[in-house]
Structure 1
Amino acid sequence: MTQTSEQESPPRAGGTQALDRATDLVAAVVGADEPLSFTHLQETSGLAKSTASRMLSALERSGLLERDADGSYVAGQLFWLYAARHDPWEELVRLARPTMERIGEDTLETVHLSVVRGDRVAQVAQVDSQFLLGTRDWTAVDVPAHTSALGKVFYGWETLPIPGEPLPRLTDATLTDPAALRRDVREARRRGWALTRDELEVGLAGVAVPVLGPRGQVVAALGISGPTQRLEDRLDELGHHLSDHAVKLTRLLRGDTHQEDVA
């Protein structure tokens, strides 16, 4: 009996080691900023090519990893299935909330976080202005994307396609011509932030910047809104301020939790 037990121990240890190596491969792919090639994974893991190939094939079959059009590895469908069955923005909001509160403390204005849901822009979090004028709950308002700085971020950074038809006019300042909107968001991308002045409501201005996810894709827009009279001379200043915080939030979403990056 003792001899049998001793003979069974190595396979158990080997199985645990194989599981550790497989989870290391998954962690490397999920935590990477871009898809990882087989060569990169094999060399950085220290696995033999045949072992790495078997493990990666097994992880593909299980849905933990998959390959893109170039043959590189990305997170598999199980990750997206899990996200689809839960609130996909809950973790984003949790991580972004301290950043939004810091921006609110610094600027005293209303701070917004928006995402794309289907073909629409939805606000998922807000920090209220400390001024009485400008405080409103925008999370319950369906705002046309072409009238908000948040929406223009998704147009300018090519997360949403710019419509080909004339757009609804909400005020005299609303950009209804797709060509004019295209020029506006092209300038926003060159500048680094999108702007609106009186395009949704007369007397309301906004500025917003993109927040990037682990693979460099735009996952959210971070913005500020308030009365045009109060913001119009500060829009570029606020754009720079938002950009600095968006960079820190992007690092946080990529797993870099060093204090100097998120403070």
Structure 2
Amino acid sequence: MNAMGERKGSGDGTVGKALDALELVARQGKPVRFSDLLAVSPWPKATLYRLLQTLTSQGMLAHDEETGTYAPGLRLVQLAHIAWSRATLAPIARPFLDALSARVGETIHLAQLDRGQVLYVDKRNAVHPVEMYSEAGKIGPGYCTGVGKAMLAHLPEAERAEALKLQSWHRYTDTTLTSPAAFEAEAQVIREEGIAFDREEHETGIVCIAAPILSPSGRVRGALSITGQTRRKSLEDLAELRPALCETARQIAAAAADWQYPD
């Protein structure tokens, strides 16, 4: 992935190319013409056309004959809904997120790891909403977000080393960690304290406190965070919410242990 969370082209043959083409369309955020896709495509015209035709015939993309544009298809929407309900913590965590949101009145994020990056799977807005990058379904960096740091720090050493190789180490702000060595030093503290902090590392003016969601054996299932804006809340203010945060993370972990996450 690059600094914006976009995946580089895969080397997994035709299937990998088709998935990359599907993501290329989805990332445009609106119906898009073939010529516009070709301008940002890593493939020649004939290859891109063939991939789009296959995806369209399979219902993964929809092609509007009138406008000549491509957009995600209904079959993709159906599969995405199934994945969201069966492969993420979101359905199980929903009542716990609702309760935590009502209790603290701040922005709540639920996330899981996707190839070393953060996949936001659910969010609750604060009483005073925070304008920020994260939304459910978005991918964010692992090394400089609270939820990402909480999850990466608790991975087994070999898995963490592989995940750190996938980070861009882009400097978003003056406080962003920019090397594996710097991250490892903080990861030790995160493991000892059981929480991670985002000290305006991804977005200026945005701070958060995060806790990992772990299986009974200590495997990383996800992470939970409480986020605030520095003009309203300091990191010390958010740290006072640690008991509520950690209690909710444990509740979600307990609920997930009885679901689809065998150790």
Give TM class, smaller chain: 0.5 to 0.7
Q: Any idea what SS the aligned residue of 2:143 has?
A: helix
Q: Which has more helix, going by share of residues? A: 1
Aligned-pair identity (%): 27
One of 222, 239, 246 as aligned partner of 2:224: 222
What residue number does 1:161 align with? Answer: 160
**Separation of aligned partners in 1, 2:98 and 2:160:** 31
Q: Which runs of 5+ in 2 are unaligned?
A: 1-79
- The 1:102–1:184 alpha-carbon spacing in structure 2 relative to 1, beyond 3 Å, is same
The Cα shift of 1:161 comes to 1.9
What residue number does 1:177 align with? Answer: 179
One of 101, 108, 113 as aligned partner of 1:111: 108
What residue number does 2:135 align with? Answer: 138
The Cα shift of 1:115 comes to 0.7
**Separation of aligned partners in 1, 2:134 and 2:183:** 26
One of 178, 188, 196 as aligned partner of 1:186: 188
- The 1:136–1:119 alpha-carbon spacing in structure 2 relative to 1, beyond 3 Å, is closer
- The 1:166–1:144 alpha-carbon spacing in structure 2 relative to 1, beyond 3 Å, is closer
One of 248, 251, 258 as aligned partner of 2:251: 248
One of 238, 241, 253 as aligned partner of 2:241: 238
Q: Which runs of 5+ in 1 are unaligned?
A: 1-83, 257-263
What residue number does 2:215 align with? Answer: 213
Is the 1:197–1:228 Cα contact (8 Å) retained in structure 2? no
- The 1:99–1:135 alpha-carbon spacing in structure 2 relative to 1, beyond 3 Å, is farther
Is the 1:194–1:207 Cα contact (8 Å) retained in structure 2? yes
Query: For residues 30-179 of structure 1, what are the structure 2 equivalents within 5 Å?
Result: 86-87=82-83, 90=86, 92-134=89-131, 138-158=135-155, 161-162=160-161, 163=164, 167-179=169-181
**Separation of aligned partners in 1, 2:98 and 2:207:** 20
Listed one character per residue, the Cα deviations across residues 82-132 of structure 1 (whole Å, up to 9, x for unaligned) are: xx9951654621110111111111111111111112332200111111114
**Separation of aligned partners in 1, 2:230 and 2:210:** 15
Is the 2:108–2:123 Cα contact (8 Å) retained in structure 1? yes
CA RMSD of aligned residues (A): 2.8
Q: Any idea what SS the aligned residue of 1:224 has?
A: strand
**Separation of aligned partners in 2, 1:215 and 1:86:** 27
Q: Any idea what SS the aligned residue of 1:146 has?
A: coil
**Separation of aligned partners in 2, 1:104 and 1:87:** 25
- The 1:204–1:244 alpha-carbon spacing in structure 2 relative to 1, beyond 3 Å, is same
Give the TM-score of the pair, scaled to structure 1: 0.59
One-letter code aligned to 1:204: I
Is the 1:133–1:227 Cα contact (8 Å) retained in structure 2? yes
Q: Any idea what SS the aligned residue of 1:196 has?
A: strand
